[in-house]
Amino acid sequence: MEFKHTSVLLEETIENLRVKPDGIYIDGTLGGGGHAYNIASKLNKNGRLIGIDQDGEAIEAASERLLPFKDRVTIIRDNYCNARSALHGIGIDKVDGIVLDLGVSSYQLDNAGRGFSYKYDAPLDMRMDMRQSVSAREIINTYPEMELYRIIRDYGEEKFAKNIAKHIIAARKDKPIETTGELNEIIKAAIPAKMRATGGHPSKRTFQAIRIECNRELEVLKDSLDDFIEMLNPNGRLCIITFHSLEDRIVKSTFKKSENPCTCPPEFPVCVCGKVSKGKAVLSKPILPSKEEMENNKRSKSAKLRVFERNDV
């Protein structure tokens, strides 16, 4: 299967990144190389792009797509949370811009064998990095009921989380839950019929929750943002595309804290904590896809782009 992924908010991201021909840039979620191709095409022989992805199939596809720019592109197979040490290893400490396009790629969703989608009956997997040992199967078959409930409630924002967790525990007592199809049937049975008639596929939220847990997506994001802001050169920009409120909340609050890190009580006449602003969120509200983009790519509907700019000193 060919690695296909339509980059969301592509023009808006590249425009806000303000690519300098001789700058150094990171694409921390390389995927099929859509954003990376556009960045690399703006660089001259002194510019540099480092593409990072943990998915081996993405690395293969992007390497081929970026061949015309091989003199200025370095591709690393890793999780973007290790970007700082990975770049240090190739002699780079500071960069002029960073792009993160979060969530799951179209290829990962449409490749039935990867087990990301509730649309296909496939082995429960959902690993973005096939080298890791924990898959969705382990989560579904070994996590205690309260832990499953917490994940489905918090990461899926699913109001029937308690009942879904209960049904999973009951089903796995008979035999291990092996496939996405089996999990679909369990979720369906846990949600009242009249509620299944509205709000999209009944498994959507639970599958999102299990995928986030499997790949530690929110922890990785939380643990990486401060590092990324520190890595930016003066006036460098960090562009992040999120696809659900949990990710967006983390990005928004980190940007806010980096812009105004002062911890002094409000009644203090001057700041004494010594914490200095690292920069600012470029826009007070996120950039959303155009109506045309949403019509052409339904997966772009929930996308939000936020941009942070490092101080100039």
pLDDT, tens digit, 9 for 90 and up, residues 207-256: 999 999 999 999 999 999 999 999 999 999 999 999 999 999 999 999 99
48-53 and 73-77 beta bridge pairing? parallel
Band the pLDDT of 194: cuts 50, 70, 90: confident
Band the pLDDT of 1: cuts 50, 70, 90: low
Domains of the chain in start order, with CATH, are 10-107+220-310 (3.40.50.150), 111-215 (1.10.150.170)
Quick one: average pLDDT of 245-270?
94
Q: CA distances (Å), 206 to each of 19, 74, 115, 158, 241, in order?
A: 38, 36, 13, 7, 22
Please give the model's pTM, rounded to 2 decimal places: 0.93
